Structure 1
Amino acid sequence: MLDAICLFDESNPITYSVFKFQKLDELDIEKYRQVLVCPVCAGKAYYRKASKDGKAACFGSRYHQSDCREFKPSAAKVREEQHAIEVNQLLVDSDAMIIDFSRRPSIASTQADKSKKTVVAKVTDNKPAANKHVEAKALKPEQQEAHQPASALQVEEQTQASPEKRIAKEGLEKILHSLMRGSDLASSDLWVYTDEKYRWRAKNLFVNFADAVPTDNGSPRMYWGTISHTDKEGLWLNPADSQDVGIPIEGIKADLQQRFGLDERRDFEGAGIILLGKCFWNKAKNRKIIQLWGQDLNRIFISKSEDSE
Structure 2
Amino acid sequence: MLDAICTLDKSQDEPYSVFKFQKLSRDEIEEYRQFLLCPVCRQKAFYRKASKDGKAACFGSRYHKLDCSEFKPSQAKLREEQDALEVNQQLVNSDALVIDFSKPATVKTAGDKQRAKSKKASSSKSTPPEKLACDVDEVAGSELSEGDPVIPQKRVATQGLEKLLNSLLRGSDLADSDLWVYTDEKYRWRAKNLFVNFADAEPTENGAPRMYWGTISHSDKSMTWLNPADCQDVGIPIDEFQKALFHQFAIKERRDIEGAGIIMFGKCFWNKGKTRKIIQLWGKDTKRMFISKSED
Q: With structure 2 as the length reference, what TM-score do the two structures score?
A: 0.87
Corresponding position of 2:187: 198
Alignment of 1:1-309 (within 5 A): 1-107=1-107, 145-148=141-144, 152-155=148-151, 165-307=154-296
What does residue 131 of structure 2 align with?
none
Contact conserved, 2:5 with 2:13, CA < 8 A, in 1?
yes
Paired amino acid for 1:85: L
Alpha-carbon distance in 2 for matches of 1:92, 1:25: 50
Q: Which runs of 5+ in 2 are unaligned?
A: 109-137
On the 8 A contact 1:48/1:59 being kept in 2, the answer is yes
d(CA) in 2 for partners of 1:280, 1:172 = 23
What one-letter code is carried by the residue in structure 2 that aligns with 1:296?
D
Deviation by residue 1:137-179 (Cα, 9 ceiling, x = unmatched): xxxxx979333469733358xxxxxxx6211000000000000
Asked if structure 2 preserves the Cα contact closer than 8 Å seen for 1:4 and 1:59, the reply is yes
Query: How many residues are paired up?
Result: 267
Q: In 1, Cα distance between the equivalents of 2:280 and 2:139?
A: 19
Q: 1:8 to 1:173 in 2, by over 3 A?
A: same
TM-aligned CA deviation for residue 5 of structure 1: 0.9
- Is this contact kept in 1: 2:140–2:187, CA < 8 A? no
Contact 2:144 2:150 in 1 (8 A): no
**Cα 1:150/1:189, change in 2 over 3 Å:** farther
The aligned residue for residue 120 of structure 1 is none
Give, in angstroms, the shift of residue 35 of structure 1.
Answer: 1.1
Identity over the aligned pairs, expressed in percent? Answer: 68
Query: Over the residues paired in the alignment, what is the CA RMSD in angstroms?
Result: 1.7
Higher Rg of the two aligned structures: 1
The alpha carbon displacement at 1:9 in A equals 1.4
Q: Quote the offset at 1:251 in angstroms.
A: 1.5
| Maintained 8 Å contact 1:149/1:197 | no
Query: Could you tell me the TM-score, scaled by structure 1's length?
Result: 0.83
Residue identity opposite 2:198 in structure 1? F
Deviation at 1:52, TM superposition (A): 0.6
Deviation at 1:42, TM superposition (A): 1.1
Q: Residue deviations 1:16-50, cap 9 Å, x none?
A: 11010000000000001011111111111000000
